[in-house]
């Protein structure tokens, strides 16, 4: 049997998932993001995400089929509960938010879905820190 050798950070990540996983009424599971640093390390992200979104809208306005596919993806994401709209009141609370820029990649030779939406967790906030930088990443070494 392979026994993993976990670093201190990997053990903390395992403990995080064990203590912050809950089952929703729908049967789905919800897990809080595992942070290696405080969310307070993130700077402001709205302006960057908005700028990227406006550029995306410009691109979509020139490609009606892509716009339709992208809108369908976002609607599906909303229906599945993978995202929820942020109201203006929520946006002004003292709860930290990180606005995640996204864009589409077209795979012409795909037999299933041609559009793949990419969420850019590496996008930097106003102070140069991204959400990816403060997340715990897990890689495990196994005995053979």
CB neighbour list of residue 83: distance below 8 Å, 6 or more residues apart:
74, 77
Identity of the highest mean pLDDT range in 13-17, 36-40, 75-79, 110-114? 75-79
Check residues 144 and 39 and name the one with the higher pLDDT: 39
Non-local (6+) Cβ contacts of 50 within 8 A are: 99
91 vs 20, higher pLDDT: 20
pTM (two decimals): 0.72
Residue 88 has pLDDT above 80, yes or no: no
Query: Is residue 117 classed as helix, strand or coil in its secondary structure?
Result: strand
Mean of pLDDT values over 10-36: 85
* Domain locations in the chain as residue ranges: 1-42+129-144, 44-128
Residue 125 token pair: 């906030």
Q: By the 8 A CB rule, do 97 and 91 touch?
A: yes
């Amino acid at each position: 049997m392979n026994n993993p050798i976990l670093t201190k950070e990997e053990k903390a990540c395992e403990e995080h998932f064990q203590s912050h996983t809950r089952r929703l009424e729908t049967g789905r599971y919800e897990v809080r993001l595992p942070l290696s640093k405080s969310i307070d390390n993130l700077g402001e992200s709205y302006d960057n995400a908005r700028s990227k979104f406006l550029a995306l809208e410009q691109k979509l306005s020139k490609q009606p089929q892509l716009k339709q596919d992208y809108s369908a993806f976002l609607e599906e994401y909303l229906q599945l509960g993978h995202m929820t709209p942020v109201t203006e009141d929520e946006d002004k609370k003292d709860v930290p938010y990180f606005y995640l820029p996204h864009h589409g990649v077209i795979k012409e030779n795909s037999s299933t879905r041609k559009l793949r939406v990419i969420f850019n967790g590496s996008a930097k906030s106003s102070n140069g820190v991204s959400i990816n930088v403060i997340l715990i990443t897990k890689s495990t070494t196994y005995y053979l």
